[in-house]
Amino acid sequence: MHRLRHHAALASSRLLVRDNQRITALARAGDVAAARRVFDAMPRRDAVSWNALLTALWRAGRDLPAARSLFDDMPSRNVISWNSIIAGCLAHGDLAAASAYFARAPRRNVASWNAMLAGLVRLGSMEDARSLFDQMPERNVVSYTTMVDGLARCGEVASARELFDAMPTRNLVSWAAMISGYVDNNMLEEARKLFEAMPEKNVVACTAMITGYCKEGDLQNARRLFDGIRAKDVISWNAIISGYVHNGLGEEATKLYIIMLREGIKPDQATLIALLTACSSLALLRQGRSTHAVVIKAMRVETRHEKEHILEVTATFIDPNLGLYRLCSQLAKTDDFRNRLAEKGLRGAVDLEQEAEATEDGGAVPDLDREAEDRQLVEAYDAPADGVA
């Protein structure tokens, strides 16, 4: 009998672990509804189950009210539960609710303080962030790095550097935050000196320096640094592509975009904005329209916030689209775009591009290879054997 009870308990524990893993995996895939169904069907739940769904609701589901309701229903809460709901409120811009949860939390660890600190910095409440930082009973490298980043972003570069120099320990993220702060404030010489002193270069610091070089028009050093990155991510690709676009080299930007796709890097919104601007400068109308259609389709999210999200994305594409149609002598199209904006606002622009989507290639990423090669835009690209990150 004892053995049977032992096997039953073991089977129950395995089922619980499996269901918890399924909730987490489904949430990461963005299928919050399926994660909720698994949770509701569970014969037994533990704190991990509740916390996994709680985070899924406010992060992947973008549904803070549902997350707060679930938090209220939790039979028991641990410090992870409190940290999650605080982070969720801050991620949704509800500083008052986050502060209330933080004050109510029966126990706080350094992660609790860091979550609150990061939220205040992200919302631009630097005075409150500084006050909270001073009150922290314990600080770690994350605490210091968050403050360095926040101070630099709001233009207090000297204060950021003073805190950076006072850090008991630094990691690569700390170095990259300070370098990025210098670049964002157009202090490239200081950024370069700190970058050279950095004990080990990472992709974030390299990307910041690429952006800085591009701002100064020093594309040679920007490209040298970019080519030296071993593991390029979409942000580093965006930095160099945007750099070429902003320096009037649309052909080079388009060529790099093609290489990026060939290397298996998936473009994001920033990539496609840069590509659309490049298409505008090169008068590539079909590719530009197709790119915008891809954005409307790829950036669509299946939540109750879908409409607002699509309008937000579309707003960033209005000027490049109008410029594209003007350069391509598509004055009727320009007028149609303007009229839709005047009559229906951004919703009209979305409708117009969704009509274009229906007549294009079904929403596939624009295939520029063939036309680019015809126009001799693509050359051989050999990545260097050695790199800095």
Domain boundary among 231, 261, 280: 231
Give me the CATH number covering residue 188.
1.25.40.10
> Rounded CA gap, 84 and 70, in Å?
12
Q: pLDDT value at position 389?
A: 58
Tell me whether residue 251 is in a domain.
yes
Cα separation of the two ends of the chain: 59
Q: pLDDT value at position 337?
A: 47
Q: pLDDT value at position 275?
A: 80
Tell me whether residue 68 is in a domain.
no
> Rounded CA gap, 365 and 57, in Å?
30
Tell me whether residue 268 is in a domain.
yes
Residues 236 and 338 in one domain: yes
Cβ atoms of 115 and 87 within 8 Å: the answer is yes
Specify the pTM: 0.73
Q: pLDDT value at position 339?
A: 52
Tell me whether residue 17 is in a domain.
no
Cβ atoms of 124 and 154 within 8 Å: the answer is yes
Return the structure tokens found at 154: 């709001």
Residues 238 and 339 in one domain: yes
Tell me whether residue 324 is in a domain.
yes
Which DSSP letter does residue 169 get? S
Cβ atoms of 269 and 299 within 8 Å: the answer is yes
Q: pLDDT value at position 60?
A: 83
Which residue in 266, 241, 136, 207 sits closest to 388, CA to CA? 207
Encode the chain (389 residues) as per-residue pLDDT tens digits: 555 555 555 667 889 999 999 999 999 998 999 999 999 999 999 999 999 999 999 998 789 999 999 999 999 999 999 999 999 999 999 999 999 999 999 999 999 999 999 999 998 999 999 999 999 999 999 999 999 999 999 999 999 999 999 999 999 999 999 999 999 999 999 999 999 999 999 999 999 999 999 999 999 999 999 999 999 999 999 999 999 988 988 888 888 988 998 999 988 878 888 887 776 665 544 454 555 554 444 444 433 344 444 444 444 545 555 454 444 444 444 445 445 444 444 444 444 444 444 444 444 444 445 444 444 444 434 444 445 65
Tell me whether residue 329 is in a domain.
yes
Which DSSP letter does residue 377 get? -
CA geometry: angle 202, 242, 240, nearest 5 deg: 35
Residues 200 and 248 in one domain: no
Residues 255 and 314 in one domain: yes
Residues 196 and 261 in one domain: no
> Rounded CA gap, 37 and 22, in Å?
11
> Rounded CA gap, 366 and 362, in Å?
10
> Rounded CA gap, 23 and 52, in Å?
7
> Rounded CA gap, 189 and 206, in Å?
15
Residues 322 and 336 in one domain: yes
Residues 251 and 185 in one domain: no
Residues 188 and 200 in one domain: yes
Tell me whether residue 147 is in a domain.
yes
Which residue in 232, 198, 226 sits closest to 212, CA to CA? 226
Residues 286 and 332 in one domain: yes
Domain boundary among 182, 207, 231: 231
User: For residue 269, what are the domain limits?
Assistant: 232-343
Tell me whether residue 144 is in a domain.
yes
At position 335, the amino acid (one-letter code) is: D
User: Could you give the number of structural domains in the chain?
Assistant: 2
Residues 227 and 258 in one domain: no
Residues 237 and 329 in one domain: yes
Cβ atoms of 236 and 203 within 8 Å: the answer is yes
Q: pLDDT value at position 287?
A: 52
Q: pLDDT value at position 308?
A: 45
> Rounded CA gap, 19 and 193, in Å?
51
Residues 211 and 289 in one domain: no
- DSSP string across 221-274: HHHHHHHT-SS--HHHHHHHHHHHHHTT-HHHHHHHHHHHHHTTPPP-HHHHHH
Q: pLDDT value at position 8?
A: 56
Q: Whats the size of the chain, residue-wise?
A: 389
